[in-house]
Amino acid sequence: MDILIDGHPATPDDLAHQALVNYGAYTSFRVENGAARGLDLHLARLDQAAVELFGDSPGEAEFHRLIALAVAGRDACWLRVSLFSPEIGHRNPSFVGRPKAMTVVSLAPPPLASSVRITAVSYEREAPHLKHLATFGLIRARRAARAAAFDDALFVDGQGQVSEGTLWNIGFVQNDRIVWPQAPMLAGVTQAVIQRGLGHVRLASETRPVFLSEIAAFDAAFLCNSATPVCPITAIDDVAFANDPALLARIEAAWSAQPPQPIAPRDDDDGVSRLGR
């Protein structure tokens, strides 16, 4: 495992701060042959989180440079990019300024599973639109699901409206249409990559509120995240899904139809964010 802070070897003080203060955000993804699917979305996620949480951002091009530096010389790996500021702590939370970026390179993890049986729990992550560092609630939910003989947990609100899983997004399938839940949640990069490719496999989609009371009407359900493009959900509590393998293969084909984007910075990268800030 190799760890850099703003492109330089991590110091003990930087790592100690990361261990003691969980204020920040991150993104993580698989690198293959010097490229990554949805790289533009990961860069935009970092830029947006930096502005919201710290009031400033290094910019997408600088994130791109740091990512390229971190993975240089590697054909395949897993990369996590975390944002933090040593100026922000429990007693001094008011700092506004550019955060530091920590890059961690490791071996790529395997997919979460080949299939899962999950249970619905009432829970909403704090600031659910952010991929932030506060993971206590989702790890606790996963542990409780495993203790109850399920593989994982699906989050719903007090009215039974579905949002997301602990580490993943969920999609439902009805005929030739994917239904994505509309709720306070993290907009997943893998979900967006799949969405981009649905036209290639002749599948339609819609995003709308989904309630537990209606899930028995769906033909299939699947989860997706950066390590697991498509994994069938065999059941949510006592509701089982048939999950036609050919249909799930079409969804994975939608993901694979989107080519990995090169990590090496382009010649026109100048450190300026492309989000119009």
179-237 tens-digit pLDDT: 999 999 999 999 999 999 999 999 999 999 999 999 999 999 999 999 999 999 999 99
Question: Does 277 score more than 50 pLDDT?
Answer: no
What is the crossing angle of helices 189-197 and 245-256, to 10°? 100
Quote the CA–CA distance of 32 and 227 in Å, as a whole number: 12
123-182 tens-digit pLDDT: 999 999 999 999 999 999 999 999 999 999 999 999 999 999 999 999 999 999 999 999
DSSP for 55-85 reads S----HHHHHHHHHHHHTT-SEEEEEEEEE-
Ranges in the chain annotated CATH 3.20.10.10? 116-256
Task: Note whether 119 and 153 are within 8 A (CB).
Answer: yes
Q: What residues contact residue 231 under an 8 Å CB cut-off, 6+ apart? A: 111, 112, 113, 114, 115, 116, 168, 222, 223, 224
Ranges in the chain annotated CATH 3.30.470.10? 2-108
* CATH class of the 2-108 domain in this structure: alpha beta
Helix residue ranges per DSSP H, the chain: 12-20, 39-54, 60-71, 136-147, 189-197, 245-256
- Strands (E) located in 133-238: 152-156, 162-165, 169-174, 177-181, 204-208, 220-225, 228-236
Quote the CA–CA distance of 158 and 140 in Å, as a whole number: 18
Quote the CA–CA distance of 29 and 37 in Å, as a whole number: 8
**From 3.30.50.10, 3.30.70.120, 3.20.10.10, 3.90.550.10, which CATH number describes the 116-256 domain?**
3.20.10.10
Task: Note whether 203 and 176 are within 8 A (CB).
Answer: yes
User: Would the pTM of this model clear 0.75, i.e. be above it?
Assistant: yes
Q: Can you give the pLDDT at residue 270?
A: 45
Q: Is 132 left (phi over 0), alpha (psi -120 to 50) or beta?
A: beta
Task: Note whether 181 and 163 are within 8 A (CB).
Answer: yes
- Please state, for a pLDDT cut of 70, what percent of the chain lies above it: 95
Backbone dihedral angles phi then psi of residue 18, each to the nearest 5 degrees: -60, -35
Beta carbons within 10 angstroms of residue 149's beta carbon: 8
Q: pLDDT grade, residue 248 (50/70/90)? A: very high
